[in-house]
C-alpha cells in the first residue's frame, strides 16, 4: 500500500485541535495505517499545542471507538482515521477522518465481467416475471447465490466501494453510463455515512432494482459480505492494483457449505456460550438476551459472555458445546476455523433450533 497516495486530512485535524484548544488527543487508526502514525504525531505536535497518544489496540471499524479508557487518561479529543461515523455515541468528542486514496483504475477491463453479470440479472428478472409456477419450481428458478427466491424488479448496476475510494463513485457512474449501464449508487441506513458505502456488517443500500454490483476496493472482506447479504453477481475493481475480477460463486458455495457443516455440528448441542461484544458499535445485548430465552424455550442452556476482543484463547475452554456470536458478525463467518467448537451467527442458531429453515436461503447477520 502506497501511503503517500493517501490523504489523511491532517490540516482539518490541526484546525479542530486549535479551535477547541485540545491538549491531549488520541489517534485511532486501522492496522494498515499505523505504520504512518509516528509521522502524524510529529506533524500534529509541531503544528499545535496538543500532545498525541496512539490508541494502539487493534481497530477494525468505527464500531470500535475508544471511549472510557481514553477519558480516564484525560484525552479530550479522539481522531479516528479510515472509517466514518456510525449511528453510535462513544461519549468522547471524535473527529472522523475518511482517509482517501488517489488511485483511479481503468474501467475497461471490468466491462466484459459487468456485461456477463447484467445478462445473469436479466435472466433472473425474466424468470421472476413468470408467476404461474408451483413452489418447488419457483425454488429452482429464482434462487440467488445464497439460495433465496430473488424478487428482482430491474437489472441496474449497484456501484459501491470501501471508504477510501468513495470519492471515485460519481465520476465512475458517469463513465459506466457511457458504456450503456444503468447505474445506481445505493444509499444505506443510519450505520452508513456516504452513498455507495458498504461495511463488513452492513449492506443496507441493496434493493430489488439492483441486479448486480461493482465494488471498488481491495481484498475479499467486503465482497464476501456483499454476496452473502445480497446473493447477487459481484465484479471487483481494485484501485490499488488496477486488477479487475469477479467473486466466484464457488467461494460463496464453500462458505455456505462450511456454515451448514457448523449448523449440523451444533444439532445435538445442549449448552451454548452467547458472546456479547463490548465495543460500542458491536454491542447487541438485547439480541443476546433474547437468544438466551430462545435456548431456554428449547430446553437448552445459554451462558452470556461479554468480551472486548473475541478470540479462541478467550472462549475455547468454557465447557459448552457451541458458541453463538452477537459481536462483530464477521467473526463467525471469517474466523470460525480458528475455534475448537462451532461458532454460529444468531440466524444459524435459529436454524439449529428449528425456528428458521436453511432451505429458505441464507440470511447474513447484519448490524443495522
> If we measure between CA atoms, which residue out of 322, 278, 94, 283 comes closest to residue 201?
283
CB of 28 to ligand SF4, least distance (A): 13
CB of 104 to ligand SF4, least distance (A): 25
Could you say whether residue 200 binds ligand SF4 (CB under 6 A)? yes
Could you say whether residue 92 binds ligand SF4 (CB under 6 A)? no
Q: Which stretch binds ligand SF4 (CB under 6 A): 4-12, 56-64, 106-114, 301-309?
A: 56-64
CB of 60 to ligand SF4, least distance (A): 4
CB of 233 to ligand SF4, least distance (A): 22
Could you say whether residue 330 binds ligand SF4 (CB under 6 A)? yes
Cell 451454548 identifies what position? Answer: 272
CA pair distance 15, 11, nearest whole angstrom: 6
CB of 366 to ligand SF4, least distance (A): 9
Radius of gyration over every alpha carbon of the chain, rounded to an integer in angstroms: 22
Name the helix (H) or strand (E) containing 254. helix 249-265
CB of 296 to ligand SF4, least distance (A): 27
Q: Which stretch binds ligand SF4 (CB under 6 A): 118-126, 195-203, 209-217, 304-312?
A: 195-203
Q: Is the CB of 91 or the CB of 151 nearer to ligand SF4?
A: 91
What three-state secondary structure class fits 313? helix
Could you say whether residue 302 binds ligand SF4 (CB under 6 A)? no
Among 61, 186, 196, 302, binds ligand SF4 (CB under 6 A): 61
CB of 210 to ligand SF4, least distance (A): 21
Could you say whether residue 63 binds ligand SF4 (CB under 6 A)? yes
Among 60, 96, 179, 358, binds ligand SF4 (CB under 6 A): 60
Positions 97 through 136 that interact with ligand SF4 (CB under 6 A): none
Positions 201 through 260 that interact with ligand SF4 (CB under 6 A): 201
Contacts of 318 (CB under 8 A, 6+ apart): 273, 303, 305
Contacts of 15 (CB under 8 A, 6+ apart): none
Would you say 52 and 10 are in contact if contact means Cβ atoms under 8 Å apart? no
Q: Where are the beta strands (DSSP E) in the chain?
A: 6-7, 24-28, 51-54, 77-81, 94-97, 100-101, 156-161, 183-184, 210-216, 234-237, 244-246, 271-277, 301-307, 322-325, 343-344
Q: Which stretch binds ligand SF4 (CB under 6 A): 38-46, 196-204, 244-252, 334-342?
A: 196-204
Q: Is the CB of 95 or the CB of 204 nearer to ligand SF4?
A: 204
Phi, psi of 214 (to 5 degrees): -120, 125
CA pair distance 60, 239, nearest whole angstrom: 20
CB of 197 to ligand SF4, least distance (A): 11
CA pair distance 59, 29, nearest whole angstrom: 7
CB of 228 to ligand SF4, least distance (A): 12
Query: Which cell numbers in the block locate residue 223?
Result: 465482497
Q: How far is CA 296 from CA 232, 301, 358, in A?
A: 36, 6, 22
Q: Which stretch binds ligand SF4 (CB under 6 A): 2-10, 144-152, 198-206, 344-352?
A: 198-206
How many residues sit close enough to ligand SF4 to count as binding (CB under 6 A)?
A: 11
Q: Is the CB of 200 or the CB of 231 nearer to ligand SF4?
A: 200
Q: Is the CB of 150 or the CB of 333 nearer to ligand SF4?
A: 333
Q: How many CB atoms lie within 10 A of CB 316?
A: 14
Q: How many CB atoms lie within 10 A of CB 47?
A: 15
- Where along the sequence are the contacts to ligand SF4 (CB under 6 A)? 60-61, 63, 199-201, 281-282, 328, 330, 367
Amino acid at each position: 500500500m502506497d501511503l503517500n497516495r493517501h490523504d489523511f486530512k491532517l490540516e482539518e485535524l490541526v484546525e479542530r485541535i486549535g479551535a477547541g484548544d485540545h491538549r491531549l488527543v488520541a489517534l485511532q487508526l486501522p492496522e494498515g495505517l499505523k505504520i504512518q502514525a509516528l509521522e502524524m504525531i510529529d506533524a500534529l505536535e509541531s503544528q499545535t499545542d496538543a500532545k498525541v497518544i496512539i490508541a494502539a489496540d487493534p481497530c477494525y471499524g468505527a464500531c470500535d471507538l475508544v471511549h472510557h479508557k481514553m477519558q480516564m487518561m484525560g484525552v479530550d479529543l479522539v481522531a479516528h482515521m479510515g472509517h466514518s461515523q456510525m449511528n453510535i455515541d462513544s461519549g468522547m468528542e471524535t473527529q472522523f477522518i475518511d482517509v482517501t486514496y488517489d488511485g483511479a483504475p481503468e474501467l475497461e477491463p471490468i466491462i466484459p465481467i459487468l456485461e456477463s453479470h447484467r445478462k445473469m440479472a436479466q435472466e433472473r428478472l425474466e424468470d421472476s416475471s413468470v408467476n404461474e409456477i408451483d413452489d418447488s419450481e419457483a425454488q429452482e428458478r429464482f434462487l440467488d447465490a445464497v439460495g433465496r427466491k430473488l424478487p428482482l424488479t430491474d437489472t441496474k448496476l449497484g456501484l459501491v466501494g470501501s471508504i477510501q475510494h468513495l470519492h471515485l463513485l460519481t465520476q465512475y457512474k458517469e463513465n459506466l453510463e457511457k458504456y450503456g449501464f444503468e447505474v445506481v449508487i445505493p444509499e444505506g441506513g443510519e450505520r452508513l455515512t456516504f452513498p455507495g458505502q458498504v461495511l463488513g456488517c452492513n449492506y443496507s443500500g441493496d434493493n430489488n432494482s439492483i441486479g448486480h454490483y461493482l465494488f471498488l476496493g481491495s481484498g475479499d472482506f467486503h465482497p464476501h459480505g456483499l454476496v452473502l447479504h445480497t446473493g447477487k453477481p459481484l465484479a471487483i475493481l481494485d484501485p490499488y492494483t488496477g486488477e479487475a475480477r469477479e467473486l466466484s460463486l464457488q467461494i460463496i458455495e464453500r462458505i455456505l457449505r462450511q456454515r451448514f457443516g457448523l449448523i449440523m455440528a451444533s444439532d445435538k448441542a445442549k449448552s451454548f456460550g452467547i458472546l456479547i461484544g463490548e465495543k460500542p458499535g458491536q454491542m447487541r445485548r438485547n439480541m443476546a438476551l433474547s437468544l438466551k430465552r430462545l435456548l431456554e424455550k428449547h430446553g437448552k442452556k445459554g451462558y452470556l459472555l461479554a468480551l472486548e476482543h473475541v478470540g479462541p484463547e478467550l472462549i475455547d475452554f468454557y465447557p459448552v458445546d457451541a458458541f453463538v456470536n452477537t459481536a462483530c458478525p464477521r467473526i463467525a463467518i471469517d474466523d470460525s476455523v480458528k475455534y475448537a467448537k462451532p461458532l454460529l451467527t444468531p440466524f444459524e442458531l435459529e436454524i439449529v433450533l428449528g425456528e428458521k429453515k436453511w432451505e429458505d436461503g441464507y440470511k447474513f447477520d447484519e448490524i443495522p
